[in-house]
Amino acid sequence: MRSIDLEKTPLRGLNESLHQLKDGTNETEWEVLNPRGQHAVAVGIDAPITVNIRGPVGYYCAGMNKQATVVVHGSAGPGTAENMMSGRVVVKGDASQYAGATGRGGLLLIEGNASSRCGISMKGIDIVVKGNIGHMSAFMAQTGNLVVLGDAGDALGDSIYEAKLFVRGSVKSLGADCIEKEMRPEHHEALTEILKKAGVNGIKTSEFKRYGSARKLYNFNIDNADAY
């Protein structure tokens, strides 16, 4: 394992070393010590490696991640895994605003709570939050899945497109054009697979409700032609 202490090595040096890694590298295990809430830790990785960050991080940790597994052993600031492409990002603590924003693929697992706008404009990512999420989560979410084992705040799924939202707890309110939808067999199957991938065991998919787009906000309706 290669260990980088951010009290001794500049953050730029860490990220430059990670950016040099490619498929087939034999430096597959990394440890980052003393992150001390610094921003943009382990961003832009494009290699099948594992990075364990021992402490809390600031903005945009693991942003634009591809292939890598990044584990934050602490809490994370705004924009964790922003624009993530693939791989796996795990936050052992809580995550601040817009976690997983614009994410296009991979899995973001938050073992604590997530703040407001979790999954905003998500485009294919799977996000699993073991705790609660804040207001305006999944705002303009296009595709992908947001799974919440706890409760959701106000305006869930506001202006949502075709992403699927699964909430086990209560929802304070739904946003514009977001409605509760039927949990059909294919949704139970998909949710089972996501929970398995996230390592969540002992929870039945029947405990969740599904939410998604009513498809009235962004589809043309001839009956409303005079309003356009």
pLDDT digits (tens, 9 = 90+) for 170-198: 999 999 999 999 999 999 999 999 999 99
Q: Is residue 93 part of a domain?
A: yes
Q: Does the pLDDT at position 11 exceed 80?
A: yes
- The answer to whether residue 135 is domain-embedded is yes
pLDDT score of 61 more than 80:
yes
Residue 218: the pLDDT is: 74
Report the pLDDT value the prediction gives residue 71, as an integer from 0 to 100. Answer: 98
Report which of 152, 151, 101, 150 is spatially closest to residue 127, judged by C-alpha positions: 101
Going by pLDDT thresholds of 50, 70 and 90, the confidence category of residue 222 is low
Is 90 exceeded by the pLDDT of residue 227? no
What CATH number is attached to the domain comprising 90?
2.160.20.60
At residue 100, the pLDDT reads 98
Its domain, for residue 208, covers: 2-215
Does position 228 have pLDDT exceeding 60, yes or no?
no
Residue 181 belongs to some domain of the structure? yes
Q: Is residue 159 part of a domain?
A: yes
- Is residue 84 situated within a structural domain? yes
Please tell me the predicted confidence (pLDDT) of residue 220.
64
Q: Which residues pair with 72 in a beta bridge?
A: 53, 91
pLDDT at 92: 98
Cα–Cα dist 134/136, whole Å: 7
In a domain, residue 186? The reply is yes
Q: Taking residues 44-64, what's their average pLDDT?
A: 98
Residue 226 lies in a domain: no
| Mean pLDDT on 55-77 | 98
Which ranges of the chain does DSSP label H, i.e. alpha helix?
11-19, 185-197
User: Mean pLDDT over all residues of the chain?
Assistant: 96
What distances in angstroms separate CA 71 from CA 151, 176, 183, 194, one per listed residue?
A: 24, 34, 32, 18
Nearest to 167, CA basis, from 196, 123, 131: 131
75 found inside a domain: yes
pLDDT in tens, 14-49: 999 999 999 999 999 999 999 999 999 999 999 999
- Count: domains in the chain: 1
The stretch 44-58 carries a mean pLDDT of: 98
Sheet strand arrangement including 88-91: 2-5, 29-33, 50-54, 69-72, 88-91, 107-110, 123-129, 143-148, 164-167, 209-213, 178-181
Asked if 62 and 44 count as a contact pair (C-beta separation under 8 A), the reply is: no
Tokens of 100: 């997983």
Report d(CA 148, CA 156) in Å as an integer.
11
How does pLDDT run across 87-116, given as a tens digit for each residue? 999 999 999 999 999 999 999 999 999 999
Contact 153, 129 (CB under 8 A): no
Residues 106-162 pLDDT 10s? 999 999 999 999 999 999 999 999 999 999 999 999 999 999 999 999 999 999 999
Cα–Cα separations (whole angstroms), residue 13 to 16, 38, 73: 5, 13, 21
Q: What average pLDDT does range 210-219 have in this prediction?
A: 89
